[in-house]
A and B are shown apart, each in its own frame.
Chain A
């Protein structure tokens, strides 16, 4: 059954959302790259620099090793949580997303403080812990669509082995979407490598080159050096997204979810491994930070000192997450409805793939104008920046939800004379309640951990992440651990609330 053009969301609203998204995200990113036009020669010279390519290759290698571990582990873990009769799988699923919302520095503090691990192995370890949840959640979401008839057929033909092989193969594009999202964060990060190679052989990465050009006040070179990373991220993300769309199937009205696959006598040994993976990544940083704090009084004192920053950060995150959901809702509908959605995909993912410092430059150029002081000098600027940067996650989450909507129900409502607004209000929104809440939670958590975009904005100075990073070098270890723990609690709290209320895992896509 085909969908009519104006089934769920008014076209005018979608156009308005597209315009808002364009102004908040892609336009500043494009502004930032405009330096290339001013001094093309400098840009070309930067691209001819051998060091840039060495560092990019090094970071891609680190990313490949990271994803080489994260994708298979996440694929199997996702399958176990989604399709097997693993004990406590809902609990494990609930704690899985925690690590991906913590800033990498919090992981570094937790792991480095606990074990004094360092070097390349430590870098990969921190990244694997941070980004494996992306893959697990994507795979879980993909495997939710396996139908009972499909599973039973495969089980009859080739038993559990064939069933697992087939389902893992089908979930691979989703796992790669998770991996490509992780790559965006990996390529723009330098702090993990910098910190974990403080002692011993130094590892410099791609983002170091970008910073060096900014430091040398060569804007065209900085923009040009960012292009290879941008191309890699966008190319991979759009390619994998398109693949996922092609392979992904909408759930029909006759859909029956497949029964869990029995693991037999291996159930408990597998559970122990799965439990270790989930708990290791999610709860270890939490307990490690508590251990580093030592005395409750220190934590209490730091919480009191940082109270204003906590409230400010929560305020920013609430506003940004709500804005993202409001804009992302019609936009993701548009992405699902269009025959060729790649231009919208490109626009939405461009700010996320743009290095944060460049994005900050673009924001200044766009908003530091007469009459816009009310926006530029306050928290409004930060909210707009965060919406522009992280809208991609809402777009992904709600896009997936739109694809899964029960289409005949809409058709029936339309034939019964229900208008567009009534269909949206009475059918779409109730059905999408859980994905909307999930998207809001995801946005909230990502905006809480953001630092790089805030650095260049006056309104970002009061955020808790800024306060934490200001203290990393100059405060005592227990004080820094207290602040990191506070950030972790702020991140975990809405996630737990969602999980308790919705009784569903986070829907990343």
Chain B
């Protein structure tokens, strides 16, 4: 009996996780279990054969079919609603879900619209999400795409996955023009800066690296780090460097990275942790990853690089509407909310400390905004257009 109780709790937990369709009420699921419990098929005669064998022989297929049936029944309870008139919106996001939820729960509270989130893990490098959006292009299942950088959003726009926002969201009017698509397909908000995270136990004050070129300085041989630039903000960063510095200079930088024995961790979060642990002296990461390590009490500081020259790269989160998504009205509401000052303030106060792009947004003191630093001038539309070529080049360059 206890086994069935466990199954019952599974179904009930599944029911809590996902609202079942109208025909599948909780009572239906529980009723099915009750029926199974009362099923007389367990009381099979054991006459004429070794009792254990006979019982097993009969119970097994019946039990197995019942188990599968019950599990599928429970699984049906997890089917998300699909009709456009329901109060829900489907969000695909490359952010890790806990961070995204800090904003989305506020949206849900204010509007009563439930946000169904499909996220990605850092390990999978947004590949799964982007491929899913492309594969679902002819029958979209997502309403909104919230990307943690801009280049892949631009690529999805070029691939015809995204839809132009008309009319322009009201909340978008105060977004600086360099952080929004001039064609109106995507908008930037809550940015992250590409900084050098430095271990203060290993690097004495006054000797910190201050430029990206320090990564290739023989003085720092084997001490610096940068994520292998085939994905995420590092790929965007390197592609932006090609736009800004040109082919020759950027190639020189990347060759230097390899020659100078820079470490190549799998992600910016991992790089920040390694610097915090003292396994790497310093390296390029995002402000959000730096903040997590700093909050753990690790001996690290952030250096905004190249303040005397080309400036620090600031990469916005981007949000866009998926073409033909099932809940267009709710999608617009979510986008309006994400672009609002309220959402930027929530993300600024989050432990990862995203940088507000709009003027006057409430933020902690340590979160520096673009006006307080020299920033790189980047055309994210051009960067997005170049990124496919750069992926192949970087993949070959860092074999």
Residues of A within 8 A of B (CB): 49, 51, 54-55, 105, 191, 194-195, 197-200, 202, 204, 208-209, 211-212, 214-218, 307-308, 311-312, 314-316, 318-319, 322-323, 325-326, 357, 360-361, 364-365, 368-370, 373-380, 382-383, 425-430, 433, 436, 451-452, 455-456, 458-459, 461-462, 466, 469-474, 476
Contacts and interface: CB of A to CB of B under 8 A. Distances in A.
B292 A474 contact: yes
A32 to B, nearest CB: 10
Contact of A202 (B18, B135, B228): B228
B205 interface: no
A191 B127 CA distance: 14
Contacts of B54: 426, 430
A202 B264 contact: yes
Given A323-B68, A470-B98, 6 more contacts: A199-B279, A215-B130, A318-B7, A374-B21, A458-B80, A462-B78
A105 B119 CA distance: 19
B57 A430 contact: yes
Nearest to A309: B17
20 contacts: A194-B266, A199-B279, A204-B228, A215-B230, A318-B10, A322-B67, A326-B64, A360-B128, A365-B135, A368-B141, A377-B80, A378-B78, A425-B57, A425-B58, A461-B117, A461-B119, A469-B121, A469-B124, A470-B121, A472-B121
B90 to A, nearest CB: 8
A364 B131 CA distance: 10
A160 B310 CA distance: 76
Interface of B: 7, 9-11, 13-14, 16-18, 21, 49-50, 52-54, 56-58, 60-61, 64-65, 67-68, 71-72, 74-76, 78-80, 82, 96-99, 116-128, 130-132, 134-136, 139, 141, 155, 159, 225, 228, 230-231, 263-267, 269-271, 273-274, 279-280, 289, 292, 296, 388, 391-392, 395-396, 398-399
A357 B127 contact: yes
Given A315-B74, A474-B269, A380 B399 contact: no
A311 B9 contact: yes
B10 A314 contact: yes
Given A319-B72, A383-B75, A426 B17 contact: no
B139 A368 contact: yes
A426 B47 CA distance: 12
Contacts of B80: 377-378, 458
A59 B269 CA distance: 26
B120 A212 contact: no
B37 to A, nearest CB: 17
Contacts of A426: 49, 53-54, 57
B391 A212 contact: yes
A368 B74 CA distance: 21
A446 B269 CA distance: 28
Where chain A touches its partner, the secondary structure class is helix
Which of A195, A214, A323, A433 has the most CB atoms of chain B within a 10 A radius of its CB?
Answer: A214
The winner among A197, A378, A476 for most chain B CB atoms within 10 A is A378
A391 B49 CA distance: 33
B14 A195 contact: no
Given A211-B125, A322-B67, A368-B135, A429 B274 contact: no
A429 B68 contact: no
Q: Ordered nearest first, which 10 A-B pairs have the shortest CB separation?
A: A319-B71, A473-B269, A378-B79, A430-B53, A379-B75, A198-B265, A455-B128, A212-B395, A379-B78, A429-B57
A217 B161 CA distance: 13
B265 A319 contact: no
Contact of B399 (A51, A105, A311): A51
A375 B76 CA distance: 8
Nearest to B92: A458
Contacts of B78: 378-380, 459, 462
B57 A470 contact: no
Contacts of A322: 64, 67-68, 71
A311 B128 contact: no
A373 B21 CA distance: 11
B94 to A, nearest CB: 12
Nearest to B63: A322
Contact of A315 (B58, B75, B82, B120): B75
Contact of B267 (A323, A369, A456, A473): A473
A278 B382 CA distance: 56
B241 to A, nearest CB: 18
B125 A195 contact: no
B76 A211 contact: no
Interface centre among B72, B273, B399, by most chain A C-beta atoms within 10 angstroms, is: B399
B155 A364 contact: no
Nearest to B16: A308
A314 B173 CA distance: 48
A215 B391 contact: yes
A315 B71 contact: yes
Given A217-B155, A466-B121, A456 B76 contact: no
Nearest to B65: A326
Contact of B127 (A214, A311, A379): A214
Contacts of A433: 56-57, 60
A51 B64 CA distance: 48
A361 B131 contact: yes
A318 B7 CA distance: 10
Contacts of A377: 79-80, 82, 141
Contacts of A376: 141
Contacts of A470: 96-98, 119, 121
A311 B74 CA distance: 12
A361 B129 CA distance: 11
B82 A373 contact: yes
A373 B136 CA distance: 13
